[in-house]
Structure 1
Amino acid sequence: MILTQVEICLISFFAFCLFVQLYYVLFVHLKLANAAVEAVPELAKSPLSIIICARNEVSNLEKYLPAILNQSYPEFEVVVVNDRSWDGTEELLEQFEKQYANLKIVKILDNDKFIAGKKFAVTMGIKAAKHEWLVFTDADCIPESSNWLMYMQQPANENTEILLGYSPYLKNESLLNALIRFETFFTAVNYLSFSLKGMPYMGVGRNMAYKKALFFKNKGFAAHMHIPSGDDDLFVNAHATSSNTEIRINKDSHVWSEPNRSWAGYLRQKKRHFGAGKFYKPKHKFILSLQIIFQFLFYVGFAACMFFSLEAKYIAGGIFLLSIIIRCFVYPKLLNRLNYKDLRWWFPILDILLFFFLTLNGFLSMFGKKKVNWK
């Protein structure tokens, strides 16, 4: 077998891209695959407040709010912030208020002096909450079980100020749905694994918790109030440390959510998230950018090898196959652990599709008008 100098350099670079990828697979993500799953706590530690922000969510609140109000936890309140809704949300919440003593409604009116966006609504909910430990979710979310709050309560370690949960999306039969769920899976694998590694960098507002004192000590969202998204990930990125953050991955702690049903809606959502990511701490941006760049170069390197000799194609194919085999020992276990076991046989294909979709979305996100709009 004789390879040209160019082929040797290209294949060597392609193999190097694989080694960088394997760092994330074997030294970051594998920690989550092997992590012990916590058992349900025997006792509730202290009262807590759940905060939900809603803007024109009457159908979702009617469907999902009772499951939250009826959690098996001895003392908690549910603070729902009605942010200028006109679809019947106010009337529905008033009905629920008569049925549930633990429901508290906060109304934001059109004539109020406020900063537009979800962060203002979240801030109003936090101010209205009477308990120190705050649990966050959304109006279109439903807990996996009635034990959700037992997992998301204040941990036994008093130094823990932030608790990161996991929120998968509900399944329907479409390519978009499979792509959304797969992207959510990899996002969760990344932030949960890095948290276990001592580098928490984000959380999702559909299922997370933190101390009210932490919020006010750091002046809430003041540092990034002008950014449309980031009430969850930017807050965690700024204030989470290796010593004050824990995760919860037990299936009973999961919170399911309604996914986007249109490509346009999903693109808008990812555009907001892309905008928030630019404000992460430099070390987090570096390690996440490195991950994306070398994934991109891995696929580019493989495609480039296909234009050279048959020997180069065979070697490149072997490297690519090795990548898939190694990941087959890690990601199917994680997909099962994170409630997406139906995707475990499709992950190589979805991995490629997701990569191209996110690359396109990242390019599109650099253009267009930026506006503050959370719903």
Structure 2
Amino acid sequence: MTFLDFVFYIFIFVVCIQVFFNLLIFRKFAFSKHKTGASETIPVSIIICAKNEAENLKKFLPSIISQDYPLFEIILINDASKDKTLKVMESFASTNNIIKIVNVKNIEAFWGNKKYALTLGIKVAKYDNLLFTDADCKPVSQYWISEMSSHFNETKTIVLGYSRYMKIKKSLLNKLIRFETLLTGINYFSFANIGLPYMGVGRNLAYKKSEFFNANGFMNHMNIRSGDDDLFINQIANSKNTAICVSHDSFTESIPETTFKKWYKQKRRHVSTANYYKIQHKVVLACLYISQLFFWALAIALFLTAYKWQIVLALFVLRISLQYTIIGFSTKKLGEKDILPLFPFLELFLIITQLTIFINNQISKTNHWK
């Protein structure tokens, strides 16, 4: 067997892995129908942790205060901000009695730790149903609370939502950021859909206060500054207690980074937490990413050598067409249809970026929170 024979057979194996993921996992989410929740109104506590977010609170907090929902409170956590965040919070609280403020000051044991600030806010919450978002986020509709909270029931104590980034016209970086967010959403929704939830995004996430205290809060990973959302969900979520909510009215929208350097730094923080996932989740996600990386690397190598190019081309088209179809249906579900035409280019660029991030994270530690 020659070296090219070996590469060719590895390529076939990689394509099979990719087909497996797409047909048995991602297809089920892409073609699934949205499940509506219960119509019963339950009390909800909105939790927003802010650090130096005075301007964003002025801009986005009104969209939460004006939600069309009869029974909710807003817990605003000022995490040792150095700007006018606390004053902005107090200004809103003076005219809205649904707002409670938790003013957190740095202490030596938990210096700059968002999980500590969140814990204090959760303790203050009056209701058992907690709904989380960030200060730089806004719900896309006035029915955000009702859509997300409708999926709580006796068994479903965690609700995973979707948070997209705002569109910036004629910006390739913006499409890359939104494509990465789309793929992340497809991944965690798809795995949760088959009973293997592994993460959530704190910009749009809900869980029961009782779940938090039953798990001793963030204590299992308090020393890891990031991961208040994905690590916590990775710890407590299972096939029975987790629901997904993908109705368009349930989405939140965030301000994206406008430079590659800032986005790259942000992604380094996010990716670093994956090292602490449960072993079965790390194995599955590693297989997914490695198969994507090898698919492109081996396909390019085989095309350049023209080795059995007809078969290689057929396998390449099979995988691209299958994933294009699944991502296409997912973009309709998650409201990101304009990204689809750039799919192959964005995927290849993202895979290279993720590889670079992985290498950098092995060399040096990342900074967390703000």
* Distance apart, 1:197 and its partner CA: 0.4
* Distance apart, 1:9 and its partner CA: 3.3
Q: Secondary structure at the match of 1:345?
A: helix
Range moving further from structure 2, 191-200 or 144-153: 144-153
- Other-structure match for 2:97: 101
- Other-structure match for 1:317: 313
Question: Residue 39 and residue 114 in structure 1: after superposition, are their counterparts in 2 closer, same or farther (change >3 A)?
Answer: same
- Other-structure match for 2:286: 289
Q: How do residues 185-200 of structure 1 correspond to structure 2 at under 5 angstroms? A: 185-200=182-197
Name the structure where helix makes up a greater proportion of residues. Answer: 2
- Other-structure match for 1:330: 326
Is residue 47 of structure 1 aligned with residue 28 of structure 2?
Answer: no
Q: Secondary structure at the match of 1:275?
A: helix
Is residue 341 of structure 1 aligned with residue 327 of structure 2?
Answer: no
Q: Secondary structure at the match of 1:246?
A: strand
- Other-structure match for 2:136: 140
- Other-structure match for 1:58: 54
Question: Residue 17 and residue 128 in structure 1: after superposition, are their counterparts in 2 closer, same or farther (change >3 A)?
Answer: same
TM-score (normalizing by structure 1): 0.94
**What does the per-residue CA deviation read over 1:275-297, in whole Å, with 9 as the maximum and x for residues that have no partner?**
21001000000000011111111
- Kindly provide the amino acid, as one letter, of the partner of residue 361 in structure 2: S
Aligned residues: 369
Is residue 218 of structure 1 aligned with residue 209 of structure 2?
Answer: no
Question: Structure 1 CA distance, aligned partners of 2:122 and 2:50?
Answer: 14
* Distance apart, 1:40 and its partner CA: 6.4
- Kindly provide the amino acid, as one letter, of the partner of residue 17 in structure 1: V
* Distance apart, 1:10 and its partner CA: 2.5
Question: Structure 1 CA distance, aligned partners of 2:47 and 2:301?
Answer: 50
Q: How do residues 1-375 of structure 1 correspond to structure 2 at under 5 angstroms? A: 5-39=2-36, 41-44=38-41, 46-110=42-106, 114-153=110-149, 155=151, 157-172=153-168, 173-308=170-305, 310=306, 312-371=308-367, 373-375=368-370
- Kindly provide the amino acid, as one letter, of the partner of residue 26 in structure 1: L
- Kindly provide the amino acid, as one letter, of the partner of residue 188 in structure 1: G
Question: Residue 135 and residue 306 in structure 1: after superposition, are their counterparts in 2 closer, same or farther (change >3 A)?
Answer: same
* Distance apart, 1:176 and its partner CA: 1.6
- Kindly provide the amino acid, as one letter, of the partner of residue 364 in structure 1: N
* Distance apart, 1:5 and its partner CA: 4.6
Give yes or no for contact 1:7–1:312 (8 Å, CA) kept in 2. no
Q: What is the RMSD computed on CA atoms of the aligned residues?
A: 1.7
Give yes or no for contact 1:41–1:150 (8 Å, CA) kept in 2. no
Question: Residue 279 and residue 112 in structure 1: after superposition, are their counterparts in 2 closer, same or farther (change >3 A)?
Answer: closer
Question: Structure 1 CA distance, aligned partners of 2:267 and 2:106?
Answer: 28
* Distance apart, 1:228 and its partner CA: 2.0
Unaligned runs of 5+ in 1: none
**What does the per-residue CA deviation read over 1:99-147, in whole Å, with 9 as the maximum and x for residues that have no partner?**
2111111101246864432111111110111110100000010111111
Question: Residue 217 and residue 41 in structure 1: after superposition, are their counterparts in 2 closer, same or farther (change >3 A)?
Answer: closer
- Over the matched positions of the two proteins, sequence identity in percent amounts to 39
